[in-house]
Amino acid sequence: MADAANGENAGAAKYSPAGDGRSESLGGASVSGVEEKRRLPIGIFDSGVGGLTVLAALLRRLPHEHYHYLGDTARLPYGTKSSATIVRYSLQVAERLVERHIKLLVVACNTATAAALPHLQEAFPHLPVLGVVEPGARAACRVSRSGRIAVLGTESTIRGQAYTRAIQALRPEARVTGIPCTLFVSLAEEGWMTGDVAKAVAVRYLTPVLGGGFDRSNAPDCLVLGCTHFPPLAPVIQSVVGDDVVLVDSAATTAEAVEDRLRELDLLRPARPVDAPVPAAHFPNGLDAGVLSRLHFLTTDAPERFARVGGLFLGMPLDPDSLELVTL
């Protein structure tokens, strides 16, 4: 690949959207015109299964849309990699989704958003590309009373200070503290979201920023879960920081941003009887089995593991046999 760190495309083809007067192939069918473009899927990617929290939020907000989700589990985690490597990986993953003819790309990974979002937008100039950092920053600025905000993220996300820049662009007086919490990713990927181990790790990471349990007058009143792997750990994190600290999960805000962009571009998929949820077993997150017909999952390694852990993130069981294994 070319020098991704310097913003070059690194081998990703320039994207040209269907529906601009030309015809392109989509599963053997001709794709042209606005109506056909509305029916294209939304592409989502993450380094692993963490981005499924964003997909779950999208399903609740836009249940009639179709989705392609790619988890790059073979190269997880992104958060300990260099910026150049993260950009290269992100371009490779995005190109694989763009090949499937998507109408919008969601970078459901804070690390990839922080390092690669401008490169992705440059590589695919005609494709709307949204990340999770900006929506999370907006939510934090809205709920923080004092302007003291802590961001939990991977080493790369914290080092790049993308959240600090985004928050201070909205609230220049804000005091932002970044806390790298790499082990949270491993805990989430293992499915260890509760129990003594998760609690001990949370205490170790969070006690210093909260004043060591003593003077908390200057402690943050808002904590941004700056990694899509972190929301399942929210109950443990909340138990450590206390109820006075508001946790911000960017998934719901990202879903709102996706809806706004699709509406702005007149690309919302119309609700049709064929898209209606199938009356079947209901799952804890309010979704039902019918949505599985509108989802396509791709992974770069271990479909069985993806299905096992991913089902915890998505809130519904996944069949490993339905996952597509891809090579990048």
Q: Catalytic residue positions? A: 109, 227
SS3 state of residue 48: coil
Among residues 132, 153, 124, 1, which one has the least CA distance to residue 57? 132
**Alpha carbons 321 and 328: distance in angstroms, whole number:** 20
Phi-psi region of 33 (alpha: psi -120 to 50; beta: other; left: phi over 0): left
SS3 state of residue 27: coil
Token reading at 153? 């993220």
**Alpha carbons 287 and 318: distance in angstroms, whole number:** 13
Burial class (CB in 10 A: 0-12, 13-18, 19+), 82: exposed
Token reading at 265? 């571009």
Burial class (CB in 10 A: 0-12, 13-18, 19+), 272: exposed
Q: Is the dihedral of CA 234, 239, 241, 245 positive or negative?
A: positive
Give the amino acid at 166: A
Among residues 297, 317, 308, which one has the least CA distance to residue 108? 297
How wide is the angle at C-alpha 113 spanned by C-alphas 48 and 122, nearest 5°? Answer: 120
Give the amino acid at 37: K
Instruction: Give alpha helix (H) positions in 207-249.
Output: 234-241
SS3 state of residue 58: helix
